[in-house]
Amino acid sequence: DLRITLSQLDIETEAMERTIEDSIEKCYHLTQEIDQQLAELSAQMEKDQHQGQEK
């Protein structure tokens, strides 16, 4: 029956949308973590450079 097929497609579409949204959210959080690590590394490199210039 066509209505059942359309209903199944709707359910599959909603499930796929949730999966995609979850993946996007995970990527966003990973990006935030990477940005934080880069900021920490940059600060550490700058600190190391200043210490090297003082010697």
Torsion sign (Cα): 18, 21, 27, 30: negative
Domains of the chain: total:
1
Token pair, residue 10, equals 């709707």
**Mean pLDDT confidence for 23-37:** 99
State the pTM of this model.
0.71
Q: Which domain holds residue 26?
A: 1-55
Q: What is the pLDDT of residues 31-54, one digit of tens each?
A: 999 999 999 999 999 999 999 888
Whole-angstrom CA distances from 50 to 7, 37, 43, 54 are 65, 20, 11, 6
